[in-house]
Structure 1
């Protein structure tokens, strides 16, 4: 089977056939521009962006509620931990009061209890009484205020004037 050049050209589609005029060096070949996609947003891209914006807006409120609940849970857990610490401190204090030695020490300190045979000694803070007993005078009075001194000097000057 022989194939001729005429059968080869018939087998090719019309768009890919070469024309009989081959560039013979008479100038550069003419280039054809390929179709370019339109610039800007296509309809599909616009719809896709609208769907994403709608989904973002739809998830905003539940996300805000979720975050508010998380912060509330954290606050309640902190309060619960503080209450547990207070309960532990109170139970520890209760255990101290159940000890008879601690109870005796508190009675001696706060209520001035003494054991039988002990002599109680109570110290009172009375500096005037202590000074009297020591044969000293009471502490000196505080000096007059400057305006009282000034006023008394004005009165004394008025009393001395002959007018």
Structure 2
């Protein structure tokens, strides 16, 4: 009889223990997300503080919008290999490979080749 009571108690406590463990894992996950949000808020606060500095704003305007002071000559480097080859007098199309045949053309030519082999 004592064994039956102990088994009944063990079965009765399994569900509350499972709920407790689930809640603890949820709490840990939420605390991790909250810490991540606090870190992100700190980064954004630092970035907002930078934008309060007029010198930082000038640097960003020069970098992002290519603004220059009067008398300066702006120089913008473009990454255009085809245009550079064309300007140098080379043929930019010489480096390009011809486009590969579509898969269905390859399939059809292999079917035709197999048919010719069978016909002979």
TM-score surpassing 0.5? yes
Alpha-carbon distance in structure 1 between the residues aligned to 2:10 and 2:100 = 76
1:139 equivalent to 2:92? Answer yes
Specify every segment of 5 or more residues in structure 2 that has no aligned partner in the other structure, as ranges: 102-120
Counting helix residues as a fraction of each chain, which structure ranks higher?
Answer: 2
Q: Which has the higher contact order (CA 8 A, sep 6+)?
A: 2
The higher radius of gyration belongs to 1
- Change over 3 Å in CA distance of 1:88–1:144 after alignment to 2: closer
Task: Indicate which of 52, 68, 71 corresponds to 1:114.
Answer: 68
Structure 1 stretches of 4+ with a deviation exceeding 6 A read: none
Question: Which residue does the alignment assign to 1:57?
Answer: 11
User: Post-superposition shift, 1:98?
Assistant: 1.6
Q: Which residue is 2:47 aligned to? A: 93
Give the equivalent residue in structure 1 for 2:111.
none
Give the Cα separation in 2 of the matches to 1:65 and 1:88. 35
Q: Which of residues 12, 20, 24 is equivalent to 1:66?
A: 20
